[in-house]
Structure formats: structure tokens, C-alpha cells
Amino acid sequence: MRIVLLGAPGAGKGTQCKRIAGRYGLAHLSSGDILRAERAAGSELGGKARQFMDSGALVPDELIVEMMAAAINKAGRNGFVLDGFPRTVNQAVELDKYMAGDGLKIDAVLNLVIDDEMIAARMTGRRSCPKCGAVYHIENLKPKVDGICDNDGTGLIQRPDDTLEVVKKRLETYHRQTEPVVDYYRKSIAVYDINASEDVEKVSSLILEKLGAFVSSAKREP
Ligand code: AP5
């Protein structure tokens, strides 16, 4: 199964993609996580991406499409869930072309729907593990010990682009450049709108319900 998860910054894409990937044995391919790893490794791509990420703008399409094509290729044939990509209509068109070259296509799109007001609280309270990538929240999803990752005991950090000022810019970028991607997919693929303002467990169950129904109907097709 090949899935795209769309939604505003802080809608819960990363949180839910980890669960979907675990449930269906898919590769979780997060463009943001890959970019942060490139930055941490001091690569040329990481250096080019830095100024865009820190200001809340999008990294240029040509860099992202090449990076994600390599990630998809590396993920193999077991399927994947895309988190944070595609983020422009041009990226979506290029993704379709790339997959068609291998006789593949995106099967379903999940669209996390949430108001901008809720997002600021989620983003400014987010903490993540720099080692394993686990994501927490200081109120909604606390680690067992304050400031420490449950998985590996590493100190949790706050992302530099999670300040209120940059979050506002990221939301503006989302509405202008990424929302049209939802309409692009609605023309050709099953798009499931999910109420992402519910708590983490409820959002997970809404997603798994939709995906379960999708998988059953796909199996019934001749
Ligand atoms: P990226 O890392 O993709 O950031 P984003 O899309 O802005 O999304 P986030 O990771 O901030 O949020 P999320 O939706 O994953 O939410 P999370 O699950 O963490 O991209 C960063 C930057 O990289 C971009 O700004 C851009 O510059 C660049 N970039 C990346 N991809 C690109 C592309 N394709 N093209 C161009 N540039 C690109 O949850 C947030 C918080 O809320 C957490 O603390 C979590 O615990 C909590 N939470 C989650 N769900 C719930 C819930 N249901 N209830 C309560 N709390 C919740």
C-alpha cells in the first residue's frame, strides 16, 4: 500500500504516520525528518535547505523531488506512507510521474483537518528525540520522565522552527502552497478527510477505520 498523509504543520502527520507504518508494515518516509538528518550530517543538501526551513518557507521542489525519489527507491516494494511530501502541486505531479515509471501509483490520501488556532499550542509544546525521532508533547503526550525519551533515555529537544513567529509563516506557506495538493488528489484518488482536532488515540482509530475499509474494498475488486 502506498499512502500520502497531508495536513498542516503540527496537524499530527508524524505522530500518525509512525502508527500507520507500524500497523501495516510500511516504510515511514518523512521529508522533514530526512532534511533534518541531512542538516545534522552537514551535507550539501542540508546546507541548502537550512535557510528555507528556519524561515518557514519550502525547500525548492527540485531538491525535494530528487531526495524523496531516492527515499522511495530505497524503501523497496513493501509500500510506504509519505509524511510532508508532496507539498506543492508540482511535487505531486513529479511524484506521479516517478511512480508511473515503475508501474506504480499512490493508492490513497489521508487529509488531516484542523484549525490554525489549535496548531500553535501543539507546535510550541512539541518535544522530540534527536536520536530516535520519537515525538512528545509537554501536555498531550508526555514522556514517562520529563524531558527524557522513553525509548533510549536521550534528552528531548525543541525544534528551532517551532517558535510562534515561524509557525505563523509555516501555516501561511501551507495554505498558499500545500492546500491545492488536496484538490489535485481529489480529482483522481480516494481522499479521506480526518478530524485531527481529536486526541491522538481517536485520530489513530479514525485513520485505521478508513484504511481498513479501503483495504477491504481493494481486496474485493476483481
Ligand atoms: P516537516 O518536518 O514536515 O514539518 P511540518 O509539515 O511543518 O509538520 P510537523 O513535523 O511540524 O508536524 P506534524 O504534522 O508531523 O505533527 P506532529 O505529529 O509532530 O517540515 C519542516 C520543514 O522542512 C518545512 O517547513 C520545509 O521548510 C521543509 N520541508 C519538508 N518537506 C518539504 C517538502 N515536501 N517540500 C518543501 N519543503 C519541505 O505533532 C505536533 C505536536 O502535536 C507533537 O508534540 C504531538 O505530540 C502533538 N500531537 C499530535 N497529534 C495530536 C493530537 N491528536 N492531539 C494533541 N496533540 C497532538
Ligand 1 binding pocket mutation candidate from 16, 52, 58, 64 (most atoms within 8 A of CB): 58
What pLDDT is attached to residue 31?
A: 97
What is the pTM for the complete model shown? Answer: 0.92
Helices (H), the chain: 13-24, 31-41, 44-55, 61-75, 89-100, 116-124, 164-173, 179-186, 200-220
Measured from the Cα of 136, ligand 1's closest atom is 46
Pocket of ligand 1 (CB under 6 A): 7, 9-15, 31-32, 35, 52-53, 56-59, 64, 84-85, 87, 91, 122, 125-126, 135-137, 140-141, 161, 170, 198-200, 203
**Residue to mutate (ligand 1; options 140, 166, 181, 203; most atoms within 8 A of CB):** 140
Distances (CA, A) of 127 to 25, 86, 94, 133, 148: 26, 24, 33, 10, 10
Contacts of 116 (CB under 8 A, 6+ apart): 8, 171
In whole angstroms, give the CA distance from residue 81 to residue 110: 10
Tell which wins on pLDDT, 216 or 176. Answer: 176
Residue 195 has pLDDT above 90, yes or no: yes
Which residues are catalytic, by number?
Answer: 13, 87, 126, 159, 170
Q: What is the pLDDT of residue 222?
A: 60
Atom of ligand 1 nearest to the CA of 170: 25
Distance CA 35, CA 203 (A): 26
Look at residues 194, 162, 141, 170 and name the one whose alpha carbon lies nearest to residue 13.
Answer: 194
The whole-number average pLDDT for the span 1-9 is 96
The torsion defined by the Cα of 113, 115, 121 and 125, in degrees rounded to 10, comes to: 10
Supply the residue whose CA is at minimum distance from atom 17 of ligand 1.
12
When pLDDT is cut at 50, 70 and 90, the band that residue 218 belongs to is confident
Among 15, 46, 23, 11, CA closest to 210: 23
CA of 187 to the centre of ligand 1 (A): 25
Question: pLDDT per residue over 66-114, tens digit each?
Answer: 999 999 999 988 899 999 999 999 999 999 999 999 899 999 999 999 9
Spacing, Cα 92 to ligand 1 middle (Å): 18
104's grid cell? 506504480
